[in-house]
C-alpha cells in the first residue's frame, strides 16, 4: 500500500520544493555569471578607465554592506535551527533581524547612489555621456549589477516577510519548513552574489 501519511506527503513536498529552488538558483547564477564574465573581459580591455572609475566608489560603504549581508546570512540560518527546535518566536525574531539588515543594506545603497546622482552621474546624463568610453562602460555595469542585486535583496526580504506570516499561521513549523529553507537559500544566493560584486567593483582597482 502506498504511504500517504501527512508526514510522507510533507517530505515529498519538501524535496520537490528544494529541487525547484535549486534549479531556480542555478538560473540566477548563470545570469550573474554572464555579467561577471562580461565585466572581467571588458575590464581586461579597458583597464585604465575601469581603474579610474572604480576609484570613485565608496569602499567604506561597500565594506559595511558586506558585513551586513554576512550577518543577515547568519541570522536567517539561525532561524531555521530555531524553527526545527519548535521555537517559533525566536525564528520570527531572527527573520525580522534579517529583514532589518536587508533594510540597512538598501539604505546604504540609497546613499551611495544618491552621492552619484548629486554629481549628475547616472546613465544618460550629460556628465555620464561626457566620460571616457571605458568609464561609461564601467558605470553601466556598476548600475546594472548593483541594481539587479538590490532587486534581489527586495525580493528576498518579501519572501522572508511571507515566511513570517506562514510561521505565525502555523503552516511552517518544526515538521514542515520548506518555505523557510527555500527563502534562506535564496537569501544566501543574494549574499553570495554580493561577495563577488564587492571585490570586483570596489577592491580590484
Total of domains in the chain: 1
CA distance 75 to 102: 11
DSSP letters, the chain, are: -----HHHHHHHHHHHHHHHHHHHHHHHHHHHHHHHHHHHHHHHHSHHHHHHHHTTS-HHHHHHHHHHHHHHHHHHHHHHHHHHTT-HHHHHHHHHHHHHHHHHHHHHHHHHHHHHHHTT-STTSHHHHTS-HHHHHHHHHHHHHHHHHHHHHHHHHHHHHHHHHHHHTTSSBTTB-HHHHHHHHHHHHHHHHHHHHHIIIII--
Alpha carbons within 13 angstroms on the beta-carbon side of residue 72 total 31
pLDDT-above-90 percentage for the chain? 67
Q: What is the pLDDT of residues 9-62, one digit of tens each?
A: 455 556 676 777 888 888 888 889 999 999 999 998 888 889 999 988 999 999
Residue 29 lies in a domain: no
Beta bridge partners of 176: 173
Q: Are 98 and 187 in contact (CB under 8 A)?
A: yes
Residue 61 lies in a domain: no
Q: What is the pLDDT of residues 94-139, one digit of tens each?
A: 999 999 999 999 999 999 999 898 888 888 888 888 899 999 999 9
Residue 26 lies in a domain: no
Residue 7 lies in a domain: no
Residue 192 lies in a domain: yes
Which residues span the domain enclosing 201?
A: 69-205
Residue 19 lies in a domain: no
| pTM for the predicted model, two decimal places | 0.87
Residue 119 lies in a domain: yes
How far separated are the first and last CA of the chain, in Å rounded? 65
Residue 135 lies in a domain: yes
Could you tell me the three cell numbers for 83?
524553527
- 41 CB contacts (<8 Å, ≥6 apart)? none
Q: What is the pLDDT of residues 168-205, one digit of tens each?
A: 999 998 888 899 999 999 999 999 999 999 999 998 76
CATH, residue 176: 1.20.120.80
Alpha carbons within 13 angstroms on the beta-carbon side of residue 8 total 4
Beta bridge partners of 173: 176
Amino acid at each position: 500500500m502506498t504511504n500517504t501519511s501527512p508526514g510522507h506527503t510533507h517530505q515529498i513536498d519538501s524535496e520537490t520544493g528544494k529541487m525547484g529552488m535549486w534549479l531556480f538558483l542555478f538560473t540566477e547564477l548563470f545570469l550573474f555569471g554572464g555579467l561577471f564574465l562580461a565585466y572581467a573581459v571588458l575590464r581586461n580591455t579597458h583597464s585604465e578607465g575601469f581603474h579610474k572609475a572604480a576609484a570613485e566608489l565608496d569602499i567604506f560603504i561597500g565594506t559595511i554592506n558586506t558585513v551586513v549581508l554576512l550577518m543577515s546570512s547568519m541570522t536567517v540560518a539561525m532561524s531555521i535551527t530555531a524553527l526545527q527546535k519548535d521555537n517559533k518566536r525566536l525564528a520570527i525574531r531572527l527573520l525580522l533581524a534579517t529583514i532589518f539588515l536587508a533594510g540597512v543594506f538598501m539604505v546604504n545603497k540609497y546613499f551611495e547612489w544618491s552621492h552619484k546622482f548629486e554629481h549628475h552621474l547616472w546613465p544618460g546624463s550629460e556628465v555620464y555621456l561626457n566620460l571616457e568610453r571605458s568609464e561609461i562602460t564601467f558605470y553601466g555595469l556598476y548600475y546594472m549589477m548593483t541594481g539587479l542585486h538590490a532587486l534581489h535583496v527586495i525580493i528576498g526580504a518579501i519572501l522572508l516577510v511571507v515566511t513570517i506570516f506562514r510561521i505565525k499561521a502555523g503552516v511552517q513549523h518544526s515538521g514542515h519548513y520548506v518555505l523557510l529553507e527555500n527563502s534562506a537559500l535564496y537569501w544566501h544566493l543574494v549574499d553570495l552574489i554580493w561577495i563577488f560584486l564587492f571585490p570586483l567593483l570596489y577592491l580590484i582597482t
